[in-house]
Amino acid sequence: MRNTDLFEMAKRYMPGGVSSPVRAFKAVGGNPIVVEKAKGSKIWDVEGKEYIDFLCSWGPLILGHSHPLVVEAIFQQAQKGLSYGLTNVHEITLSQMVCQLVPSIEKVRFVSSGTEATMSAIRLARAYTKRKYVVKFDGCYHGHYDSLLVSGGSGVATFGVPGTAGVPEELAKLTLVLPYNDHLAVKEAFNKYGEDIACVIVEPVAGNMGVVVPDFEFLKVLRKETEKYGALLIFDEVITGFRVSLGGAQELFGINPDITCLGKILGGGMPLGAYGGREEIMDLVSPQGFVYQAGTLSGNPLSMVAGIKTIEMLTKEKPYSYLELLTKKLVDGISELLKEKGIPHRINWIASMFTLFFTRGDVRDFKSAKASDVDMFGKFFRALLGQGILIPPSQFEAWFLSLAHTQEDIDIALEKIKKALGSL
């Protein structure tokens, strides 16, 4: 069957035809593809068309699709049980690995998604501090939890308004929204409301307004102000965990948050999230403490073994400088092609994630990201798809590379991008 026919059918049974909104390609126009299979750096649609995949399932697949060791571990485990609803030995192994690798984590609780991790972290921070207010940054996404699905008003530091239908205004008002990378706004907010702020949650490298690398001063001020006022600092490392380095952004920048949220790579492509931090904080979580949080499939052995194998590979192979070189080759190549065509652009990148923004100015927060030409991005996306290159279907997302991508993939991708640009 064709992509279009299947998607029409999908729309009859699922809202918008998808299980997560951005998959409908609304931000770029055109029809979404329906996936048949994937392997390594490639993905195929139901029409048999092959794409080099720079979406990588939005980040988890740092080893590429279906890495043989991960698949074998899942296969072996599946024969011994899919879920027990009781503690299993793999949970203990993975929790130990996380505590050893992520600098600020002494204890960790597994959940099934990034959203669950951030939601639970906020609840824990509110319980620990006995305060209500949460600070978040405009353009950062932390999953679809009510308190975090808010947008800012027109001022620099504003109390949130619901970012979607269904979030009560009363709840949105408990979230203070500040511009990313603006350390002065952080100081001002703490000066005014510091005694009532439970926590600050931040993507220590933003990925959800497109990639925005933080000023070191910004992260430093976050750490200093939260400490000064007794609020907790939450690093949402759902994307950056095991991506920008084994120990995440906190290891890279040398700044320890109080609570860390993990997801994506942690589960190696299986549904998995986690939140962790200092023992003194984590021991407030039930049944040790009085902050309730639970999950039927939490710690399920399939996600555990996929996570263990993925992190074992990363620990053994230490692929970060290779991935960085590969990413640089792609980023430099794209930039060169765009310069030749005289197309204004900026590329923000770190480690093996990057975003190409169609804009003239530097992108350092959501406001500057939004100055990008999204129509141009839509045309670029569709031309790339036509050439067999899959990138995130939105200007405000990150491209990811994996260990399965080869130098040859990058050469081929650049050739195809050149052709695509020629057709614009």
Active site residues: 141, 236, 264
Number of shown-chain residues binding ligand PLP (CB under 6 A): 16
Q: Smallest gap, in angstroms, from Cβ of residue 416 to ligand PLP?
A: 26
Q: Smallest gap, in angstroms, from Cβ of residue 341 to ligand PLP?
A: 31
Site for ligand PLP contains 267 (CB under 6 A): no
Name the residue with the smallest CB distance to ligand PLP: 114
The correct pick among 139, 143, 247, 257 for binding ligand PLP (CB under 6 A) is 143
Distance CA 330, CA 323 (A): 11
CB 112, CB 297: distance < 8 Å: yes
Site for ligand PLP contains 139 (CB under 6 A): no
Site for ligand PLP contains 236 (CB under 6 A): yes
Q: By C-beta, is 150 or 337 nearer to ligand PLP? A: 150
Single out the residue of 163, 160, 261 nearest to residue 204, CA to CA: 261
Single out the residue of 40, 37, 35 nearest to residue 68, CA to CA: 40
CB 159, CB 151: distance < 8 Å: no
Structure tokens at 213: 């690398």
Query: Binders of ligand PLP among 44-63, rule CB under 6 A?
Result: 58
Site for ligand PLP contains 115 (CB under 6 A): yes
Distance CA 299, CA 111 (A): 7
Q: By C-beta, is 67 or 142 nearer to ligand PLP? A: 142
Q: By C-beta, is 112 or 359 nearer to ligand PLP? A: 112
CB 208, CB 140: distance < 8 Å: yes
**Backbone conformation region of residue 155, classed left if phi is above 0, alpha if psi is from -120 to 50, else beta:** beta
Site for ligand PLP contains 241 (CB under 6 A): no
Estimate the crossing angle of helix 301-317 against helix 89-101, to 10 degrees: 40
Single out the residue of 215, 257, 271 nearest to residue 58, CA to CA: 271
Site for ligand PLP contains 239 (CB under 6 A): yes
The correct pick among 77, 88, 104, 118 for binding ligand PLP (CB under 6 A) is 118
Which residues are near ligand PLP by CB under 6 A? 58, 113-115, 118, 141-143, 203, 207-208, 236, 238-239, 263, 273
